[in-house]
Amino acid sequence: MDKKEYEALNVLKYLEGIKGRHTELISVYIPAGFSLDIIRNHLAEERNTASNIKDRNNRKNVITALDKVINELKLVGQTPPNGLVVFCGNVSDKEGEPDIRLWSLEPPERSDIRIYRCDQQFVTQPLKQMFNKTNVYGLLVMDNREATIGILDGSNVSVLKHIKSLVPGKFSKGGQSAMRFTREREGLIRDFYKEIGETAKDLLSDKGIVGLIVGGPGPAKDNFIEGGFLPSTFKVLGTRSVGDADQSGLDELIDKSKDILVNVRRLEEREYVQKLLGSIARNDRLSVYGENETINQLESDNVDTLLISDGVDEKKKNDLYYRGSEKGINVEIISTNSSDGLQLYNLGGVAALLKRPSKS
C-alpha cells in the first residue's frame, strides 16, 4: 500500500468517526475537468441560504465551513486531474467551542462524481470505494441439505445467509414405497433449489457482484445451475468441488478459485502470511515476528516486506508504517477478516520478511 493511499484511508477512517450535533459537516465532490468557478458560485449560494438556519451555533459553523471550502478552492486554482474531494466542518465535541477543520483529497482515479452535502456525517463512501477498488464476487456453497451464500470484497468475506433444507436422506424409512419416496425427495430438492435461487437474488442483486462462484461436495451444485434456478442476470464464473456447504466451504471455495478471482486483496494477503509462516516453520531466519524483533531488523535495513495487522493499536500501526515507507520498503497492512490475518495478529500483529538471514 503506497503512502498516499495509506494516508487517505487514515483520513477517511477518522472522518467516518465524526458525528455532527447538527447538519454542519460539509462534503464536496468535484468531477475531473469540472470548473471550480461553478462550484464556488454554488457554495456561495449555499452560504446565503445558510444564513436562514435558526440555531445560532449551527448557522455560524456552517457559514464558517463554507467560507473555508470556498477559500480552499481559490488556493487550488484548478481541478486536479482526477477531480477533488473536500471535507469541512466542526469536529469539536464541546458545544459552543467549534473546531472547524478542512481536508482536501484527490481521488486515486479519474472521478465523475459531483456531490454537495451538508449533514451530520461526512460522505466518505464514494471516495473510500475508489481507494479500495476491487471486484466483488458472489459465493455459494451447497449440497442437498444446506447452502451458504456470501460475498468476497477485497479482504472481506461476509456470510449473508445459511439455509437448511427439509430433504431427507436417500433411503426411505418404514413401509413407504421406494418410488413414492424418491418422487417426494426430488420435489423437496427442487423446492430447496428454488429457495436458494430466490435467496441469492434477494441478497446479491444489489451488491454489484461481477459474478458468482459455486461450490459443493457433490453433484448438487451442477444440478442447481443446469436446472436454471439462478436468475438469468447472474453470471456463473465457475464451479469448484469443496468439502462442506457451510462457512468453511466458502473459505475453501476462495482458495480453489485463484484462477477465477482477479484483483482480490485477500489472496495477496494470504500469500504474504503463508510465506511468513513457511519461513518460521523452516526456521530459515528469513523472517521475524513481534514488535521488537521487527524494529531491530528495520533499523538494520534488513527488511524486504513489513507486515502489519490492521488489528494493532493505531498509533503503533502508523509509527511502523512510516518507519517502513521512509526506508522505501514494501509495507503491507493485513486485514484480520481472514484466518491468515488472524494468525499474523496472534503472532503480535507485526512481522517482516527479510532480505538476508537474521543473525539472531
Q: Which of 225, 211, 18 is nearest to 101 (CA)?
A: 18
Residue 359 has pLDDT above 90, yes or no: no
Single-letter amino acid code for the residue at 214: V
Give residue 131's pLDDT band: very low, low, confident or very high (50, 70, 90): confident
**Is 105 part of a structural domain of the chain?**
yes
pLDDT at 343: 95
Using alpha carbons, list the distances in angstroms from residue 45 to 29, 240, 294: 17, 57, 54
322 and 223 both lie in a single domain: no
pLDDT at 290: 95
27 and 103 both lie in a single domain: yes
Element at 321 (helix H, strand E)? helix 314-326
Domain around 13: 3-131
Q: Mind listing the pLDDT tens digit for each residue in 233-258?
A: 899 999 999 999 999 999 999 999 98
220 and 311 both lie in a single domain: no
Residue 174 has pLDDT above 70, yes or no: no
**Is 164 part of a structural domain of the chain?**
yes
272 and 192 both lie in a single domain: no
Q: How far apart are CA 51 and CA 40, in angstroms?
A: 17
| Residue 128 cell numbers, joined | 473510500
213 and 302 both lie in a single domain: no
**Is 229 part of a structural domain of the chain?**
yes
- Range 151-164 average pLDDT: 91
Residue 286 has pLDDT above 80, yes or no: yes
- Range 87-106 average pLDDT: 93
Q: Which of 224, 255, 286 is the last residue of a domain?
A: 255
| Residue 5 cell numbers, joined | 493511499
Q: Angle at the Cα of 9 (from 7 to 11), degrees rounded to 5?
A: 70
Q: How far apart are CA 211 and CA 178, in angstroms?
A: 39
Q: Mind listing the pLDDT tens digit for each residue in 252-284?
A: 999 999 888 876 778 889 999 999 999 999 999
162 and 79 both lie in a single domain: no
> Which CATH number characterizes residue 37's domain?
3.30.960.10
Give residue 176's pLDDT band: very low, low, confident or very high (50, 70, 90): low
- Range 100-126 average pLDDT: 94
pLDDT at 4: 83
- Range 89-109 average pLDDT: 92
- Do residues 113 and 125 lie in contact, with contact meaning Cβ atoms separated by under 8 Å? no
| Residue 286 cell numbers, joined | 528469513
pLDDT at 171: 65
The half-sphere exposure of 144 on its side-chain side, counting CA atoms within 13 A, is 14
**Is 260 part of a structural domain of the chain?**
no
- In this prediction the pTM is 0.67
110 and 26 both lie in a single domain: yes
What does 127-185 look like in DSSP terms, one character per residue?
A: HHHHHT---EEEEEEE-SSEEEEEEEETTEEEEEEEEE-----SS--TT--HHHHHHHH
140 and 237 both lie in a single domain: yes
Q: What does DSSP assign to residue 262?
A: -
Rounding to the nearest 10 degrees, give the CA dihedral for residues 170, 176, 178, 182.
-60
| Residue 208 cell numbers, joined | 454489484
Q: How far apart are CA 129 and CA 29, in angstroms?
A: 14
Residue tagged 459455486 (cell numbers): 214
Residue 172 has pLDDT above 80, yes or no: no
Question: For the chain, how far is it from start to end, CA to CA, in angstroms?
Answer: 29
223 and 315 both lie in a single domain: no
Q: Which of 131, 147, 173 is the last residue of a domain?
A: 131
> Which CATH number characterizes residue 313's domain?
3.30.1330.30
pLDDT at 338: 83
240 and 295 both lie in a single domain: no
Q: Mind listing the pLDDT tens digit for each residue in 39-85?
A: 999 999 999 999 999 999 999 999 999 999 999 999 999 999 999 99
Q: Assign residue 168 a region: left if phi > 0, alpha if psi is -120 to 50, beta otherwise?
A: beta
> Which CATH number characterizes residue 186's domain?
3.30.420.60
Phi, psi of 277 (to 5 degrees): -65, -35
Q: How far apart are CA 89 and CA 249, in angstroms?
A: 46
Q: Which of 195, 220, 255 is the last residue of a domain?
A: 255
The mean pLDDT of the chain is 92
Using alpha carbons, list the distances in angstroms from residue 6 to 139, 261, 314: 29, 24, 12
pLDDT at 175: 55
pLDDT at 339: 85
**Is 336 part of a structural domain of the chain?**
yes
Q: Which of 343, 341, 312 is nearest to 154 (CA)?
A: 341
Altogether, the residues listed in the chain come to a count of 360
Q: Which of 126, 89, 92, 123 is nearest to 107 (CA)?
A: 126
Sign of CA dihedral 336, 341, 343, 346: negative
Q: Mind listing the pLDDT tens digit for each residue in 304-350?
A: 999 999 999 989 999 999 999 889 899 999 989 888 899 999 999 99
Q: Please tell me the total count of domains within the chain.
A: 3
pLDDT at 320: 94
pLDDT at 337: 81
- Do residues 148 and 245 lie in contact, with contact meaning Cβ atoms separated by under 8 Å? yes
Using alpha carbons, list the distances in angstroms from residue 289 to 158, 277, 314, 343: 29, 10, 18, 11
